[in-house]
Amino acid sequence: MTPDDFRTAGYRIVDFIADYRARVESRPVMAQTAPGEIKAKLPKTPPQQPESFDAILGDLDRIVMPGITNWQHPRFFGYFPSNGLLSSVLGDYVSTGLGVIGLAWQSSPALTEVEEVATDWLRQMLGLSEHWSGVIQDTASTSTLIALLCAREKATDYSLVSGGLQAELRPLVVYCSAHSHSSVEKAALLAGFGKSNVRVVPHEASNAMRPESLEQMIAEDLARDRRPCAVVATTGTTTTTALDPLDAIATVAHAHGLWMHVDAAMAGSAMILPECRYMWKGVEQADSLIVNAHKWLGAVFDCTIYFVRDPEHLVRVMSTNPSYLQTAADGRVKNYRDWGLPLGRRFRALKLWFLIREQGVDGLQARLRRDLANAKWLEAQITAMTDWHVLAPVPLQTLCVRHEPAGVAGDALDRHTLEWVARLNQSGEAYLTPALLDGRWMVRVSIGAELTEREHVAQLWRLMRDAAAS
């Protein structure tokens, strides 16, 4: 494909995406295809001869698109908002089109320096002090793994460059809560801690971690000759957006030399609103912190910002320096390859930089405030009904909801919940995620897609009542 062919085909792709975004509301939210249905429509073997762009675009439209669950739909209330604002999309288009790679600073200086600037802009927007340095990673899962590797290496005085984890005698322990994201346990297991060294700290009725319980578990582990290593606290848990008390947890963590990692993957976006910052009071005392700019904030996936207090430690854990990557500029510049797992890196900063510039801080703040108000409105509607319940505090944009008809309880209530939400999702009219809370199914309503206005929340509320009643 020549640049001129690309110009013609590129316009068509831009039109395709513009039309998709403009009309996304007319599509079913959840894909309506059966398992294997799309695969069955695609050739099993690769084409020997080149195919026309028309053929590719035709199959995209006819075969692929029905298999898309439309995250940008205004009635997408599942999982979490994964906004990819169109300015951010264009920033990523530039990155992809340029086809440059970050290996060393020299391999594209702008890739590194715009990332320094854009992540520092975000730091300021979140109200974080100058003691934090940011770097873009792909996801929170990867970033939490990095945090726990850094914790492990701090506790073991860099065992990785000597005998490794097996040379450490006292078992290292990681603390989280039952409401921590699944990626926390996954990261701990992959980092080699072992499931029996991942301790689940009890939580309050609000679903927030109990610092006194953390203190008590640490004492127990010390008494058993274990070595407390790290605690992961969450600002805005996945299931209920619960807020772990960071300052109290930090006090315990510091008293015992634990690494403190804060998972603000979802709720971090809200910290661009000064009125929300009470939620992570104490965050300055953490060692590492993640905010997913690719969720509510609107940078198109993937764009997790990993903030650290001590980048030198991070670099010491992650660095490699073979001869073919050495350049004369080393020592005077950042080489972000030593701030994470991959050696090669995309120019991800462009999508964040385009987003912040095109929206301005004011624009981003206004949208998030709209969503918080919509959540409050829906909460008021639901709590006004006798057979509907909001099951957890609503500090942000996620509601945990259950329809509890008179006389229906226990397993029957679970069945009712899963049935009505499946009916609603299958209708394609809206999309919600069921989840377990205290051992029983309920439904999460996660508000905050870019296109979601009050009218869509009101439509959802009607659809929920209809689905539960039918």
Residues 347-386 within binding reach of a copy of itself (CB under 8 A): 350, 353-354, 356-363
Q: Which residue in 185, 221, 244, 287 binds a copy of itself (CB under 8 A)?
A: 185
**Binding segment toward a copy of itself, per CB under 8 A, in 201-209, 279-287, 320-328, 386-394:** 320-328
Q: Which residue in 380, 385, 436, 469 binds a copy of itself (CB under 8 A)?
A: 436
**Binding segment toward a copy of itself, per CB under 8 A, in 26-34, 305-313, 372-380, 389-397:** 26-34
In angstroms, the Cα distances linking 458 to 378, 384, 450 are 8, 14, 16
Distance of CA 367 to the CA centre of its chain: 18
Residues of span 65-84 touching a copy of itself by CB under 8 A: 65-72, 78-79, 82-84
Q: Which residue in 62, 321, 383, 409 binds a copy of itself (CB under 8 A)?
A: 321
For a copy of itself, the closer of residues 172 and 248 by Cβ is: 172
Residues of span 28-57 touching a copy of itself by CB under 8 A: 30-31, 33, 35-39, 42-51, 53, 55-56
Q: How near is the Cβ of 440 to a copy of itself at its closest, in Å?
A: 10
Residues of span 132-171 touching a copy of itself by CB under 8 A: 138-142, 145, 149, 152, 159-169, 171
Q: How near is the Cβ of 283 to a copy of itself at its closest, in Å?
A: 19
Q: How near is the Cβ of 386 to a copy of itself at its closest, in Å?
A: 27
Q: Which residue in 186, 277, 316, 389 binds a copy of itself (CB under 8 A)?
A: 186
Residues of span 322-341 touching a copy of itself by CB under 8 A: 322-325, 328-329, 332-333, 341
For a copy of itself, the closer of residues 15 and 275 by Cβ is: 15
Q: How near is the Cβ of 248 to a copy of itself at its closest, in Å?
A: 26
Q: Which residue in 54, 58, 62, 64 binds a copy of itself (CB under 8 A)?
A: 64
Q: How near is the Cβ of 15 to a copy of itself at its closest, in Å?
A: 7
259-263 vs 288-292, strand pairing mode? parallel
CA dist., res. 303 & res. 60, Å (int): 26
For a copy of itself, the closer of residues 1 and 255 by Cβ is: 1
> b/e per residue, 274-302, with b = 16+ CB within 10 A?
eebeebbebbbbbbbbbbbbbbbbbbbbb
In angstroms, the Cα distances linking 398 to 261, 296, 376, 442 are 23, 12, 10, 13
For a copy of itself, the closer of residues 108 and 285 by Cβ is: 108
Residues of span 242-301 touching a copy of itself by CB under 8 A: 294, 300-301
Per the CB < 8 A criterion, the answer to whether 37 and 415 are in contact is no
Does position 427 bind a copy of itself by CB under 8 A? no
Residues of span 105-124 touching a copy of itself by CB under 8 A: 105-111, 113-114, 116-117, 120-122, 124
Q: How near is the Cβ of 120 to a copy of itself at its closest, in Å?
A: 8
Size of the site for a copy of itself (CB under 8 A): 164
For a copy of itself, the closer of residues 121 and 377 by Cβ is: 121
For a copy of itself, the closer of residues 235 and 238 by Cβ is: 238
Q: How near is the Cβ of 216 to a copy of itself at its closest, in Å?
A: 22
Residues of span 191-250 touching a copy of itself by CB under 8 A: 191-197, 238-239
Residues of span 403-422 touching a copy of itself by CB under 8 A: 422
Residues of span 437-466 touching a copy of itself by CB under 8 A: 441, 444
